[in-house]
Amino acid sequence: MRRHFKTLADGALIEFDRGQFDDWCVYLTPPGEARFAPRDAWYFGELQALADRHGAYRLYEDFVRVYDRTDAQASPAVLAWITGLSAAYGEDALLVDRIFTILYAGMVAEENKVNGPLGRRIKRLGMYQALIEGMPAAEAANYSRNIDARRLDGECRRRGF
């Protein structure tokens, strides 16, 4: 049950489709490449590399701006806004657009999951750990596994969200 989400400037396609657990898995099909489901460790690592050039706080603050515009319904206006926001990253604009759009799609998915008590905050926790706390990307991506929602809620609250 593929659902188109956004086509990027280079022709890359971002969409929702059936994953292991539900119909809210985010997929990326880069031009001329096979479709895959981007994992947190991948985009956290990409963002950490971008932070070397653009600053971790800047990337995190821009992510929070996307986060604040996210709810259970995807908005074409937010997708266009993400592209505009990404333009400020110069030669990295397309990569930032790709990653922020994937994060936005992932947060929309989290807001739609029936058994997702933390909603989009789970993505924010990982972003905070990866960018602000400097946790290795793979560790930040896997941090929430096997931790109950109450404890994760406390982790989020201690960080101010």
Give the model's confidence band at 146: pLDDT under 50 very low, under 70 low, under 90 confident, else very high. Answer: confident
| CA gap 41, 136 in Å, rounded | 9
Q: What percent of the chain has pLDDT over 90?
A: 89
pLDDT at 114 over 90: no
> Is the predicted pLDDT of residue 115 greater than 90, yes or no?
no
Which helix (DSSP H) or strand (DSSP E) does residue 111 occupy?
helix 93-112
Q: What's the rounded Cα separation, in Å, for the pair 106 and 119?
A: 10
28, two tokens: 């990326």
Stated length of the chain: 161
- Cα(100)–Cα(67) distance, rounded to whole angstroms? 10
Query: Quick check: 133 pLDDT over 80?
Result: yes
Q: What are the residue ranges of helices labelled H in 27-92?
A: 40-54, 56-68, 76-87
Q: How high is the pLDDT of residue 46? A: 97
Return mean pLDDT, the chain.
Answer: 95
User: Structural domain boundaries of the chain?
Assistant: 39-158
- At residue 23 the predicted structure's pLDDT band, cuts being 50, 70 and 90, is confident
pTM score above 0.85: yes
pLDDT of amino acid 21? 80
Phi then psi for residue 117, to 5 deg, are: -65, -20
Task: Report d(CA 161, CA 141) in Å as an integer.
Answer: 18
Average pLDDT over residues 9-15: 97
- If you average pLDDT over residues 73-102, what whole number do you get? 98
User: Beta-carbon neighbour count of residue 89 at 10 Å?
Assistant: 19
